[in-house]
Amino acid sequence: MNTPFTSSTSSTPPVLDVARIRADFPILQLTVAGKPLVYLDNAASSQMPLPVMDRLRRYQTSEHANIHRAVHYLSETATAAYEAARITLQRFINAREAREVIFTSGTTEGINLVVHGWGRQNIKAGDEIILTVLEHHSNIVPWQMLALEKGAVIRVVPMNDAGELLLDNYEALFNERTRLVSVGHVSNALGSINPVKKMIALAHAHGVPVLVDGAQAAPHLALDVQDLDCDFYAFSGHKLCGPTGIGVLYGRAALLEAMQPFKGGGDMIHTVTFEQTTYAPIPNKFEAGTPPIAAAIGLGAAVDYLCRIGMPVIAAHEHALLRYATEHLSALPGVRLLGTARDKAAVLSFVLAGIHPHDVGTLLNQEGVAVRTGHHCAQPLMRRLGVAATSRASFAFYNTLADVDALVAGIRSVQKVFA
């Protein structure tokens, strides 16, 4: 059956009705420097559709109250909506139980929660933590802080020139001191889709748990944490057409139950005396204080919106955009693409010969084209690539081939300025 956003026949796969989808995103109608906005910075933050805005407005105008404990109408309504969003996220990632879904402020907090709640209990002097050269700083710095505190060691999985992890090298890193693997599902800088299911299986064969940073995977791929068999999975709402300030940490219930809470305060306790505190069951144990109620409800609405379209349909559309963009940027003289993995999400990092990426971004902005420039919070990866920074175009399901054409025309204009 077609969704309201797709069309197909019995012999053809569903095709997105992108024009109809774009009508849900009023921000895409903006002009910048007198040019139509071409938004290609989705790996940083995606845009929010009207149904999510409408859900946030409904909450703020007719449901807003603090959640849990109170018995009045507004609090009960807000509590039901907040917990319904948790169930929506449970289904989105196929977690076993809703209590395995912890609301956080985003991927960064989710990783830090594991660092403090699991890492401090289980990492000791001389232990080793495996990361990869592709990691975002959010999946490097917290582990470095823990390693410094505990006297542990960071080991790094290398990659080839295409941006693909070297699995033989990965497997060779395991030894009796290995305690954890923390790996990004999709590289934010290159778009490489890492073989995390295989990496998880290899780690589990050595008795080592795995955290997956899914910030860049959740917007593009159908997720199934049970199929992946990961121990933890973290992602952010603002990359999923949802609000900022909200994210999810999935964790196996047994691991979460054994962990210490990251933050202390209200709503995460069972009993409190000045002598001792006992903690509430999961997920409440990890959600101290008043949570981002509206943002959680908005994230639930965003996930509902994406699921109505269908994640496989989204992935197919974005792959077509990536293929078209790769072909056309590769044909431009003076353009070097970085990250040519065989399995990629819709991200293109590039450099222009003799032109600083910041200049590229500034001049593209004058053409209405929004891209990200810099090291993309992946400085170790930039050093591996031999560059200080890149320009990055990242696509979403509401982008079009015309957006790619505008990017190509913009690059030509930039090159003319420096000719």
Q: Which residues are identified as catalytic?
A: 377
Q: Is residue 159 classed as helix, strand or coil in its secondary structure? A: strand
* The pLDDT of residue 2: 59
pLDDT digit string, tens, across residues 171-207 = 999 999 999 999 999 999 999 999 999 999 999 999 9
Sheet holding 372-374, edge to edge: 335-338, 347-352, 390-394, 372-374
Query: What DSSP state is assigned to residue 347?
Result: E
Q: Looking at the 3D structure of the chain, how many domains does it have?
A: 2
Is 258 found in the same domain as 138? Answer: yes
Provide the domain limits for residue 353: 6-32+311-417
Distance, CA of 159 to CA of 175 (rounded, Å): 20
Is 10 found in the same domain as 71? Answer: no
Is 11 found in the same domain as 141? Answer: no
Element (H, E) at 153: strand 153-157
Place of tokens 């594991």: 114
Boundary of a domain, candidates 307, 337, 372: 307
Contacts of 372 (CB under 8 A, 6+ apart): 41, 43, 44, 361, 391, 392, 394
Percent of the chain past pLDDT 90, that is, above it, reads 95
Distance, CA of 394 to CA of 249 (rounded, Å): 24
Task: Find out whether 313 and 3 touch, Cβ atoms under 8 Å.
Answer: yes
Is 317 found in the same domain as 301? Answer: no
Domain assignment present for residue 41? The answer is no
Is 106 found in the same domain as 11? Answer: no
CATH number of the domain that 95 lies in? 3.40.640.10
Of 85, 97, 149, nearest to 123 (Cα)? 149
pLDDT digit string, tens, across residues 14-73 = 789 999 999 999 999 999 999 999 999 999 999 999 999 999 999 999 999 999 988 999
* The pLDDT of residue 1: 47
Is 398 found in the same domain as 380? Answer: yes
Distance, CA of 170 to CA of 180 (rounded, Å): 13
Is 136 found in the same domain as 115? Answer: yes
Domain assignment present for residue 46? The answer is no
Contacts of 173 (CB under 8 A, 6+ apart): 128, 130, 155, 157
Boundary of a domain, candidates 281, 307, 333: 307
Domain assignment present for residue 44? The answer is no
Domain assignment present for residue 38? The answer is no
Boundary of a domain, candidates 274, 307, 340: 307
* The pLDDT of residue 10: 47
* The pLDDT of residue 223: 97
* The pLDDT of residue 13: 59
Q: What is the pLDDT along the chain (419 residues), one digit of tens a residue?
A: 456 666 655 455 578 999 999 999 999 999 999 999 999 999 999 999 999 999 999 999 999 999 998 899 999 999 999 999 999 999 999 999 999 999 999 999 999 999 999 999 999 999 999 999 999 999 999 999 999 999 999 999 999 999 999 999 999 999 999 999 999 999 999 999 999 999 999 999 999 999 999 999 999 999 999 999 999 999 999 999 999 999 999 999 999 999 999 899 988 999 999 999 999 999 999 999 999 999 999 999 999 999 999 999 999 999 999 999 999 999 999 999 999 999 999 999 999 999 999 999 999 999 999 999 999 999 999 999 999 999 999 999 999 999 999 999 999 999 999 98
In sequence order, what are the beta bridge partners of 247? 104, 236
Task: Find out whether 105 and 247 touch, Cβ atoms under 8 Å.
Answer: yes
Is 298 found in the same domain as 251? Answer: yes
Is 234 found in the same domain as 139? Answer: yes
Which sign does the torsion angle of CA 383, 341, 48, 37 carry? positive
Query: What DSSP state is assigned to residue 281?
Result: P
CATH number of the domain that 395 lies in? 3.90.1150.10
